[in-house]
Structure 1
Amino acid sequence: MNMLKPALLASALALPLAGTAALADTPDDVLVIAQNIDDIVAIDPAQAYEFTSGELVTNLYDRLVQYDAEDPTVLAPGIATEWEVDAEAKTIAFTLRDDAVFNSGNPVTAEDVLFSLSRVIKLNLTPAFILAQLGWTPENVDDMITADGNVVTVKYEGDFSPAFVLNVLAARPASIVDKALVMENEQDGDMGNAWLNANSAGSGPFALTGYTPGQMVRMAANEDYFKGAPAMTQVIIRHVPESATQQLLLEQGDIDMARNLTPDQVASLSADDVKVETFPQAAVHFLSFNQKTESLTDPAVWEAARYLVDYTGMTDTIIKGQMEVHQAFWPKGFPGSYDETPFTYDPEKAMQILEDAGVETPIEVTLDVINAAPFTDMAQSLQASFAEAGIDFEILPGTGAQVITKYRERTHEAMLLYWGPDFMDPHSNAKAFAYNPDNSDENYQATTTWRNAWAVPDEMNEETMAALSESDPEARLDMYRDLQAKVQESSPIVIMFQASYEVAMGADVSGYVNGATSDFVYYRLVEKE
């Protein structure tokens, strides 16, 4: 592999711009990205919990099963080629492929799988809770994950659908690391944690060859990757926090991709050799009403509210390119999504709903919102449209921490916020939007239902738990669609939008895949024409 040309390129990119003089075009086999990467705290899969960290882990490691670049909506074989489910015994037996090789040259073995999964539980760092849902503890994990030859058997505790377990095992902390290499670099019993936060030990399509926090990430292609070597021999991610600088570098041809342009900058792109692609994201944005506020407890208020959001007005202007209309709690583009959007801006209908129900107006309501664009703009739009039906919002802007704290304490009246899943199983959001069996103040729950003091009907609580344990995959997804339809029809949570993400890139770049979360960003199929 010729390392000289990319190294020179990286050095050139580090130089300040001089006027408008363009640097040399990027090499044909190197993808150069400008991105804000200052959120990275850790890149060890057992610890990584930031957006950019998720992108790196996905490109450096494999999992037993995984969502992959060919179709990020389909759970596909990874290190395992097949699996056999025994729902009654609560076990899944995975047969490992024999052609997976770590970037070190070591073959991927069952021992590596056992080590990797148990390591997450024993280190017990931030994302460990995802695997711990399966009933795994430091004391029992070595008995819950066993191997016989090239077959790894995973046992779980709890009334879970096997589909839920598979999605847990497709999550970031379930990435498989090279045991021999990691333990060679263990320090003071940390199971290689410090070393893995500056290096990689995976079997993924790329290997980490350089990482300087807040400056640069460099990955080299794994030429022995079991799905074929990536076309790009290297991917270089340069930390460029200023979106204006990203735009300039892209238009000059000094980078191939700008990841953090604003909507206005995207609209202003004029170069013939630049294109923009839009990718739906998993975060859903909603307006919610705290049921501790008496004036907001009538279901007619909830129903009317759904006709007082100017969905199209906002997506055509203040959030253009950043969000699209979506009115259900599970994001579009993933199995189990419910994509019906029955509500439109209709203040006359909203007023009639309130009048028929005998709701007295005006209703004075405080609306908490994060004091940043586009949230404050969205709040002002809601303030104007809701006033048409006599619901008057007093906007209370605050920092993210202030708004979230208030939400967790249930001291708000109305709240404009967003929610994203911790892992890509519909139960992650169903529990947040359709489950709350104990609405008492003492029973704190990190859900939108509890935080809005909504005592979810027993029938919906029961259906949420039944879906979690349903063994038939299609029947399970239908249950989640039904739950979404019920929450959409009648709840104090008005889901309005799904986030979108715009990426600007050179016209010669193709094959870039950006799924609904940062864990589904793939460079393996990228080519330059």
Structure 2
Amino acid sequence: MKHFSLKQGLSALLLAGTAITAAPALAQDSDTLVIARSMDVNSLDPSRAFCDTCQFYLTAVYETLVTLDADNKTLVPNLAESWEVNDDFTEFTFALKDATFADGSPVEASDVVWTFERLKNLKGSPSFLMDGLTGAEAVDAKTVKFTVEAPNAEFLNKVSAPYAGIINAEVAEANGAMAGEDAAEADKSEPWFLANSAGSGPFTLASYSPEAELRLAKNDAYWGTAPAFSEVVVTQIQDAVSQAQALETGQVDIAMQIDPDTAKSIRSGDVTTEIVPSFNFVYIGFIPGAKGMEEVLTPEVRQALALAIDYDGMLDFTVGGNGAKQAAPIPNGFPGTSGLTPREQDVEKAKEMLAAAGAEGLKLTAGYPNDNIYGVDFNIMMQKVQQDFAAVGVELELKPLTWAVWRDELGAGEWPVTAIYYAPDYYGSGQYIAYFAMIEGFPWVGRASVGKPELVVNPAEADLYAKALATSGAESEAAYTALGEEMMKDAIILPLVSPNLVLAYRNDIEGVRYSACCNLPLAEITRK
């Protein structure tokens, strides 16, 4: 997910690579699907992209070896027709279907190898999916074998993530893409990917206009079942109320970010709304490595601040009770979470801990994206955090930012508190360890420490993670529970609420569902 990138200079790249957008489509055009959402696009390159909009875009344009079934737990074939795994989860072999890319060329094992090596070597936000990959071999044109350095029972799940979508290597390389070990510096293809695509999926990229519109075109050469629409238009509509109005008036077919309260206000008989549980969550994150915070945001102070938050009130305040509390940065319902107990507010203990740490009268600043995610208005959410911190004598200054400014300032450690969100990339708890655990080299260690990992690294977590990946069943579940408990002790990532998801669409639209890997599977949607 979900999801964000610290890529610098993105705005310039977006402008450089953007095609001029055609006139907006109307939802009444039967052959066009129009979707309203506030777009959080950081890139349209599968190996660099990391956002919720990216998830359903990539799934529609680039296909993975395996994908997640409608039960959100079971892996099913996609580009691979079958696969084999050795006993210790270190070798994974896939037999490919006779699929073709949008230009008509065959999808071959060499494309898969190139894609995975590039995903690893670009060192972008989704590169953690290829952590530990040591071997990638095209056994023959339709067989590919991967080797990982240590047992990794989640590798199969990882390759179902949208960011592992297979790229046409020849086309991408002709436009500046690189897969070698120097790809992070040598690859110059990002502007090209903002205006073009090179996948095998049912759609292709037609055009992208930042903060305005993302337009997909039907892949007329698609090797599988043809999609129902000739084009899909994702149009930028920032807030839930405006999205609901566009849905009621028929300007859009689907609204992706309507909150439960706004859903109740919809009176049109032409609109269907469903409230479903999700694996998404919003959280605040502490950054002890931020300027002036090294001796301030100690583990004791972070634990005290965690006790200051009114989690029950937060649930009511943000989503009107339409969601769930979440203990650790692993979503409810994922392996290991049944053994975790969500935090409870304890104002008096928080005050005592702050006093003992000499942190009375503490002043902090929170920088966060000025957005509405999963029906949660981040400004409202952070006002609640501000109130809760004030109750224990901590002053929190709120600093809402544009996405571009937020990315830049987060990487520079400009403020010690942030807020953001996460959606699953696949079904499996390992992705949350790989992203949030305080294990040296992992993404949130870098963000929280700002180059001083000794401030946050938790040595116990690396051993537990290795155990979780080398086992299965109850033993793996127990390791993930222990990891969740350790991450709660770290008090770097504090989940605030797991919001229910509102599916909102016009009555003539069918096939709208929530996917734990892909957000919204566009190819399944039809018009009656």
TM-score category of the 2 structures, normalised to the smaller one? 0.7 to 0.9
Q: Post-superposition shift, 1:394?
A: 0.8
CA distance in 2, matches of 1:523, 1:331: 24
Between stretches 107-116 and 192-201, larger displacement belongs to 192-201
Q: Give per-residue Cα distances to partners, 1:94-147, cap 9 Å, x unaligned.
A: 12234x34444544333443344445567x4746734653356xxxxxx73222
**Aligned residue in 2 for 1:269:** 266
TM-score relative to the length of structure 2: 0.73
- Say yes or no: does 1:170 pair with 2:160: yes
Q: Identify the residue that residue 8 of structure 2 maps to in structure 1.
A: none
Residues 1:148 and 2:136 aligned together: no
Whole-angstrom CA distance in 1 between matches of 2:237 and 2:323: 22
Output the CA distance in 2 between the equivalents of 1:218 and 1:438.
36
- Aligned partner of 1:218 in structure 2 is 216
Q: Distance in 1 between matches of 2:383 and 2:251?
A: 39
**How big is the shift at 1:91?**
2.4
- For residues 290-369 of structure 1, the aligned pairs below 5 Å read 290=288, 306=306, 308-320=308-320, 324-338=324-338, 340-345=340-345, 347=346, 350-351=347-348, 359=356, 363-369=360-366
Number of the residue aligned with 2:229: 233
Deviations 1:366-409 (CA, angstroms, capped at 9, x unpaired): 23223646444334433434555xx2121222355787777767
Query: For residue 506 of structure 1, what is the aligned residue in structure 2?
Result: 506
Give 2:13's aligned residue.
none
CA shift in 2, pair 1:190/1:66, >3 Å = same
CA shift, 1:217, in A, is 0.8
Task: Give the 3 Å change call, closer, same or farther, for CA 479–317 of structure 1 in structure 2.
Answer: same
Q: What is residue 397 of structure 2 aligned with on the other side? A: 396
Give the Cα separation in 2 of the matches to 1:454 and 1:102.
47
AA aligned opposite 1:435: M
Question: What letter is aligned with 2:524?
Answer: L
Choose which of 282, 285, 296 in structure 1 pairs with 2:283.
285
* CA separation of 1:32 and 1:491: change in aligned 2, threshold 3 A: closer
Letter in 2 for 1:395: L
- For the 8 Å contact 1:285–1:495, the answer to whether it is kept is yes
1:82 equivalent in alignment to 2:78: no
Distance 1:488 1:107, change over 3 A: same
Change in 2 beyond 3 A, CA 1:316/1:467: same
State the one-letter code of the partner of 2:487.
V
Change over 3 Å in CA distance of 1:109–1:432 after alignment to 2? closer
1:207 aligns with 2:203: yes
In structure 1, what is the equivalent of residue 112 of structure 2?
A: 113
Alignment of 1:28-47 (within 5 A): 30-37=32-39, 40=41, 42-47=43-48
Post-superposition CA distance 1:455-499 (Å, at most 9, x none): 55543443234334x143653343112211343367465433235
* Counterpart for residue 385 of structure 2: 382
Letter in 2 for 1:186: A
Give how far 1:285 is off: 0.5
1:19 aligns with none
* AA partner of residue 204 (structure 2): L
Give 1:256 shift: 1.0
Q: Within 2, Cα distance between the matches of 1:67 and 1:179?
A: 24
Question: Offset at 1:12?
Answer: 8.2
Corresponding residue number in structure 2 for 1:129: 127
1:72 aligns with 2:72: yes
Using a 3 Å threshold, how does the CA distance of structure 1 residues 280 and 54 change in structure 2: closer, same or farther?
Answer: same
Equivalent in the alignment of 2:184: none
Instruction: Kindly indicate whether the alpha-carbon contact (under 8 Å) linking 2:329 and 2:432 is maintained by their aligned counterparts in 1.
Output: yes
Instruction: Indicate the SS of the match to 1:71.
Output: coil
Quickly say closer, same or farther: Cα 1:496–1:134, change in 2 above 3 A: same
Partner AA of 1:61 in structure 2: Y
Could you list the runs of 5+ residues in structure 2 that have no partner in the other structure? 1-20, 180-187, 372-376
Write the distance in 2 (CA, Å) between the matches of 1:290 and 1:125: 24
Contact 1:87-1:471 at 8 Å conserved across structures: no
Matched-pair contact (CA < 8 Å) for 2:95–2:143: yes
In the alignment, the residues of structure 2 paired with residue 189 and residue 223 of structure 1 have an alpha-carbon distance, to the nearest angstrom, of 24
Flag the 1:221–1:267 CA change in 2: closer, same or farther, 3 A: farther
Check 1:77–1:317 CA distance in 2 against 1; reply closer, same or farther (3 A cut). Answer: same
For residues 522 and 125 of structure 2, the distance between their equivalents in structure 1, rounded to whole angstroms, comes to 24
Matched position secondary structure for 1:92: strand
Contact 1:321–1:502 (CA under 8 A) maintained in structure 2: no
Question: 3-state SS of the aligned residue for 2:273?
Answer: strand
Per-residue CA deviation, residues 319-361 of structure 1 (Å, 9 max, x unaligned), is: 448864212111235445457454444x5xx426866999599
Give the distance between the partners of 1:81 and 1:211, measured in 2 at CA.
32
The TM-score with structure 1 as length reference comes to 0.73
Deviations for 1:196-238, whole angstroms, at most 9, x for unmatched residues?
543444332x222732534451332679655x444x2334214
Q: Percent identity?
A: 23
Larger Cα Rg: Structure 1 or Structure 2? Answer: 1
Residue pair 2:299, 2:491 contacting (<8 A) in 1 also: no
CA shift in 2, pair 1:189/1:361, >3 Å:
closer
Q: Distance in 2 between matches of 1:89 and 1:163?
A: 5
Describe how 1:167-206 pairs up with structure 2 within 5 A. Answer: 167-178=157-168, 182=171, 186-187=174-175, 193=189, 197-204=194-201, 206=202
Structural mapping, 1:45-60, within 5 Å: 45-60=46-61
Equivalent residues of 2:48, 2:124 under 8 A apart: yes
Partner of 2:64 in structure 1? 63
**Structure 1 CA distance for aligned equivalents of residues 420 and 42 of structure 2:** 23
SS of the aligned residue for 1:162 comes to coil
Note the alpha carbon deviations across 1:8-39, whole angstroms, 9 max, x for none.
xx98855xxxxxxxx88442x643223344x5
